[in-house]
Amino acid sequence: MTTRPDDDDDDVMAAEYVLGVTDLAARQAAEARARRDPAFAARIAAWEARFAPLNDAIAEAPAPDLMPRIEARLFPIQPARRAPWAWLRGLGPGLVVLGLVAWFMLAPARPELTATLVPQNGGPTWLALLSGQDLVISRMAGRGPGEGRDFELWIIRGDAAPVSLGVMPATGMHLTVTDVTPGTVLAVSLEPKGGSPTGQPTGPILALGPLQKT
Amino acid sequence: MSGDPISALLQDVARQDRAAFRALYVAAGAKLMGTALRILQDRHEAEDAVQEVMTRVWLKAGAFDPARGAGPDPGMGWLVALMRNHAIDRIRARAPLSDDEAAIALAPDPAPRAEAQVIASAQARRIGDCLDRLEPDRAQAVRGAYLDGLSYADLAQRHGVPLNTMRTWLRRSLLRLRECMET
């Protein structure tokens, strides 16, 4: 390998990222650069490969069965933990309203709060239902995120900055949220694959709306 | 890749195979938990972190390329890299510890960890040999960063040197490691 000083600087930066010694801002800057600079991404991959044998020194630890939680989050209609309103996902927006009315009349436990996330910037429409700490959000109409991009869900409490609730599968997800009151806003943004690199929305806001009492 | 079950499972997961996703957790969950726990030092947070990483694995498995990975088990290497990066992001995002807490958390190990001497596989011998050619405290700093997720500030405190000295140490050590591993 040629070792011009600039190369060494880049290589040390990549190694520092892989080791994890820098602060969060420098880590996020390195990740952002790796996304747009394949040569830098290759330096990171090379350092990961150099250090990977040290992984043998990491002892395994008993892991509880987290799969039910993981699957409930990823697959809102997973039969093992099917949300009572999950069937609404399959319906078109017009039928959803009808379905919701029927569901409110029949459901044994109704959601306390709902939100319709209104499209901005030509984005999709989302419906969110909160029951206790269980939030189900489903895409009702509109397109998926497209190649190389992900939807990310945000919660905005009062005047506070948006807090990420995570990258969302294209059809929606089921997750647990706390500290939600009527008026708390949910928003969906379009982000690079894997989610916002900064911890705040970086792409366009596709839809948003407040949670309201049913 | 027939001898590498994790890579095979990851490729199935990339095709949205939920059974493979479960099998992957059975095969790799304990390693992920060990990695998270070692860096985060908190079981509850480690479980959250593993859950987050498994979610990303489902969403990102298509980005895994076994041909670009190194060693006999590139799949596990990819998973551990995701886990380390996420766990390190979490500790870097934490509020700084008070001085007392930091003193407890960063007290030097009473004895060098066993793995510093014993690195089992032949694969590992190369980086092990190259680390052994560094001054012992510098090799220990590199291991502490990689395995325990220590920051420059943590390492400076643990080794009792100024922050800038630690930066210089580590940067030189990294270039020497690269040179050693390329020859």
Q: Give residue-wise pLDDT tens across range A146-169.
A: 888 999 999 988 777 888 999 998
Name the one residue in this structure whose structure tokens are 């800057």: A29
CB A81 within 8 A of CB A72: yes
Least confident among A28-37, A152-161, B44-53: A152-161
pLDDT per residue as tens digits for the range B150-161: 999 999 999 999
Q: Are B155 and A16 an interchain contact pair (Cβ–Cβ within 8 Å)?
A: no
Taking CB atoms and an 8 Å cut-off, how many pairs form between chains A and B?
157
- Give the closest-approach CA distance of B135 to chain A in angstroms: 18
How far is the CA of A15 from the CAs of A3, A34, A203, B159, B164, in angstroms? 15, 13, 29, 20, 17
pLDDT at B182: 81
Is the Cα dihedral B29, B34, B40, B42 positive or negative?
positive
**B2 vs A68, which has greater pLDDT?**
A68
Instruction: Assign domain B99-182 one CATH number from 1.10.3720.10, 3.30.365.10, 1.10.10.10, 1.10.3470.10.
Output: 1.10.10.10
- Give the closest-approach CA distance of B118 to chain A in angstroms: 8
Provide the residue count of chain B.
183
B50 touches chain A (CB under 8 A): yes
**A81 vs A156, which has greater pLDDT?**
A156
pLDDT at A208: 86
CB A152 within 8 A of CB A204: no
Phi, psi of A164 (to 5 degrees): -70, 135
Q: Are A58 and B147 an interchain contact pair (Cβ–Cβ within 8 Å)?
A: yes
B139: pLDDT confidence band, cut at 50, 70 and 90? very high
A166: left (phi over 0), alpha (psi -120 to 50) or beta: left
pLDDT at A86: 55
**Residue ranges per domain, chain A?**
5-57, 67-213
Provide the residue count of chain A.
214
pLDDT at B69: 65
How far does CA A185 lie from the centroid of its chain? Answer: 16
Q: Return the bridge partners of A152, or none.
A: A167, A189
Parts of chain B belonging to CATH 1.10.1740.10: 5-93
- Give the closest-approach CA distance of B8 to chain A in angstroms: 19
C-beta atoms surrounding B104 within 10 Å: 9
B106: pLDDT confidence band, cut at 50, 70 and 90? very low
What is the amino acid identity at position A96? Answer: V
A200: pLDDT confidence band, cut at 50, 70 and 90? confident
What interface predicted TM-score (ipTM) does this complex get? 0.84
B72 touches chain A (CB under 8 A): no
CA angle in degrees (0–180, nearest 5) for B93-A15-B80: 65
**Average pLDDT over all residues of chain A:** 81
A183: left (phi over 0), alpha (psi -120 to 50) or beta: left
pLDDT at B119: 42
How far is the CA of A189 from the CAs of A164, A166, A174, B182, in angstroms? 10, 11, 17, 43
| CATH T-level topology, domain B5-93 | Rna Polymerase Sigma Factor; Chain: A (1.10.1740)
Q: Which residues of A touch B106 (CB under 8 A)?
A: none
Percent of chain A with pLDDT over 70: 80
Torsion angle of alpha carbons B121, B127, B128, B131, nearest 10°?
Answer: -170
Torsion angle of alpha carbons A66, A75, A109, A207, nearest 10°?
Answer: 120
Whether A142 shows a pLDDT value over 90: the answer reads no
Span B110-135, average pLDDT = 63
pLDDT at B104: 46
Q: Spell out the residues 6+ positions from residue A165 whose beta carbon is closer than 8 angstroms to its own.
A: A135, A153, A154, A155, A175, A177
Burial class of A9 by CB neighbour count within 10 A (0 to 12, 13 to 18, 19+):
exposed
Q: What is the pTM of this model?
A: 0.62
How far is the CA of A153 from the CAs of A113, A195, B43, B90, B102, in angstroms? 17, 10, 26, 19, 34
Whether A104 shows a pLDDT value over 70: the answer reads no
Taking the C-alpha atoms of residue B125 and residue B145, their distance in angstroms, rounded to an integer, is 19
How far is the CA of A52 from the CAs of A62, A119, B71, B80, in angstroms? 22, 44, 8, 8
Taking the C-alpha atoms of residue B132 and residue A66, their distance in angstroms, rounded to an integer, is 39
Least confident among A109-118, B25-34, B107-116: B107-116
pLDDT at B141: 96
Parts of chain B belonging to CATH 1.10.10.10: 99-182
How far is the CA of A111 from the CAs of A82, A114, A131, A143, A214, in angstroms? 15, 7, 4, 26, 7
Which residues in A74-147 belong to E strands, given as ranges?
Answer: 113-119, 125-131, 134-141
A96: pLDDT confidence band, cut at 50, 70 and 90? low
B112: pLDDT confidence band, cut at 50, 70 and 90? very low
pLDDT at B120: 44
HSE-CB for A130 with a 13 A CA cutoff: 24
Span B31-40, average pLDDT = 97
A53 touches chain B (CB under 8 A): yes
Helix, strand, coil shares of chain B, percent, nearest 5, are 75, 0, 25
**A159 vs B22, which has greater pLDDT?**
B22
A57 touches chain B (CB under 8 A): yes
CB B140 within 8 A of CB B108: no
Q: Which of A55, A61, A74 shows the shortest C-beta gap to B58?
A: A74
Q: Return the bridge partners of A117, or none.
A: A126
Q: Which residues of B touch A69 (CB under 8 A)?
A: 51
